[in-house]
Structure 1
């Protein structure tokens, strides 16, 4: 007796032994059961198979895309060191950038220092404002006021980078030139532009961090006699600190990878910055301004790909930092 016959026998016996009439089974007799239909996958089962298949396919495509991007940038970026024999220590420590003159003139130190300076300064300026706005939205203002501020923040996020760069070029640069002298281009102009660009990101994530603090912390602090501000300063902000740090790191990643707006206000001079108002260049500004002027496979082109590889590595570092801070916050 095969499995189908066994199944049919079990079903027939169940129908014969039923004591409570069933809407669907009360009209079935011992010979009215379609065993083949019972053993075939149902429509819902087939839909589940299709859903799982499409999900796995999407995951596979994402993995292939990420690996392809990392591999492509890595191969071209490493060609500077393995193909053109540029010393990696010289690349990271020298500020002499003129790849057209040979491998001894490929030094990215000036751009690395400028990129980190702009990123850190923008984060330092934006973080206090972001925390202040987030505290106001979550602890002081009404729901309508918070919704209005949230709409304003979302509007700032939606403004294209070129608009920020144009505003910086027409407003920030002339103002700095008038106040401090010089050309007006430099780290200070780029910092002010990036401050406005990263402020919405840090603010939104900080708001989420403060909202995630359990209500019983506030209640316990109030029960101990703490004022509203003491509760915010001593309890809420301390509990939310890991999430706030995550928000700051996301903002720094946004600032570090910004290209167009920074390119328009920083001056694009590959020089080691001596002050905040001297023209300089970041990794991204040099990439966007010079990539179209080089020939694929040449040393100048490979050197620019090495800058792109450095940016990619920094993006991975920022992601790792976010995960480490997140795990610390869970503890």
Structure 2
């Protein structure tokens, strides 16, 4: 073959690099998708075994209040009522988000609209420090500070949903604050300039223009914070009391899905009713994580419109 023709038809170095890069990228994508699907299918197969193998009722699982997988009820079915843990998880999650949201929005507004550059750097360092603190440290602080505070000022034993909410409030605050800051900074500058030019005060501009324009991003931040709170295990386990009973009040000992999982999964044998019931709780957690992700995508899509 003619050397010139051979040189033209031979793939160049850039073409080979491009092919290798695309191959690695697609392989990584398929690997990630495969891992996610494998995790979901594995947890789902274990979780539904409670209802297919052990003949538990899905309705009783979601609405029952008695949790004792090793025993059977009058109808011969396992006592796997998960309602106390579901209510406990939602209780601490919603309260933590309710406590954290005003503080997060206020901090974000201060960092983006009111503070100097030095103050912004300081606040950013504080937020990053809060993110880096391990969960067990938050749990110890909650055990030695929050629980006695709740007991002395609100009554009860100090263990309960309120204490768990206070601990989670500090844990989710950096997440909501950071994403709220990003949302406020993403608002076009001319929104603020136009509002001030029309005679609005700075606070009117913040309330009626900036916050409303950044609302989809703020809602996304809140949902992410709730997802973080819903899946937290160790810190909540140390302060909530871990009683698998329907919470009668915010001050009564309760439990969450994650606290029951972390306490019980190491004390059961694979394939038993108790183990399958815990996998069912894990499946509920996984479905809730999926729900939070769908909610985030929906909010983001509505914000683009």
TM-score tier after normalising by the smaller chain length: over 0.9
Aligned residue in 1 for 2:301: 327
The structure 1 residue matched to 2:278, chosen from 299, 304, 325, is: 304
- Structure 2 runs not aligned, ≥5 long: none
- Work out whether residues 54 and 78 of structure 2, in 8 Å CA contact, stay in contact via their aligned partners in 1: no
- Whether 1:202 and 2:198 are equivalent positions in the alignment is no
SS at 1:279's partner residue?
A: coil
Are 1:46 and 2:16 counterparts?
Answer: yes
Matched, 1:175 2:149: yes
Report which of the two structures shows the higher radius of gyration computed on alpha carbons: 1
Distance of 2:81 and 2:141 partners within structure 1: 32
Q: In 2, distance between residues paired with 1:37 and 1:161?
A: 61
What is the DSSP-based 3-state SS (H/G/I as helix, E as strand, rest coil) of the residue aligned with 2:270? coil
The corresponding residue for 1:97 is 67
Instruction: Show the 5 A alignment for 1:1-331.
Output: 34-102=4-72, 103-331=77-305
Counterparts of 2:152 and 2:195, CA distance in 1: 50
Query: Do the aligned residues in 1 keep the contact of 2:70 with 2:78 (CA within 8 Å)?
Result: no
TM-score, scaled to structure 2: 0.97
**TM superposition shift of 1:60:** 1.1
Residue 240 of structure 2 contacts residue 253 of structure 2 at CA under 8 Å; is this kept in 1?
yes
Normalised to the residue count of structure 1, the TM-score between the two structures is 0.89
After TM superposition, give the deviation of residue 277 of structure 1 in Å: 1.1
Give 3-state SS (helix, strand or coil) of 1:100's partner: strand
Shift >4 Å, 4+ stretches: none
CA distance in 2, matches of 1:328, 1:64: 29
| Residue 134 of structure 1: how far off its partner (Å) | 0.2
Q: Match of 2:87, SS? A: helix
Corresponding position of 1:13: none
CA distance in 1, matches of 2:213, 2:30: 38
**Shift of residue 181 of structure 1?**
2.9
Whole-Å separation in 2 of the counterparts to 1:180 and 1:209: 36
**Aligned residue pairs, count:** 301
* 2:64–2:80 contact (8 Å) kept in structure 1: yes
Q: Could you list the runs of 5+ residues in structure 1 that have no partner in the other structure?
A: 9-32
Distance 2:121 2:262 in 1: 37
Q: Which residue of 2 aligns with 1:25?
A: none
**C-alpha RMSD over aligned residues:** 1.0
- Cα distance in 2 for partners of 1:205, 1:181 equals 35
- More contact order relative to length (CA 8 Å, sep ≥ 6): 2
1:37, distance to aligned residue in structure 2 (A): 1.5
Cα distance in 1 for residues equivalent to 2:92 and 2:151: 18
Taking the aligned partners of 2:18 and 2:162, their CA distance within structure 1 comes to 56
Partners of 1:160 and 1:178 lie apart in 2 by: 27
Q: What secondary structure, in the 3-state scheme, does the structure 2 residue paired with 1:98 have? A: strand
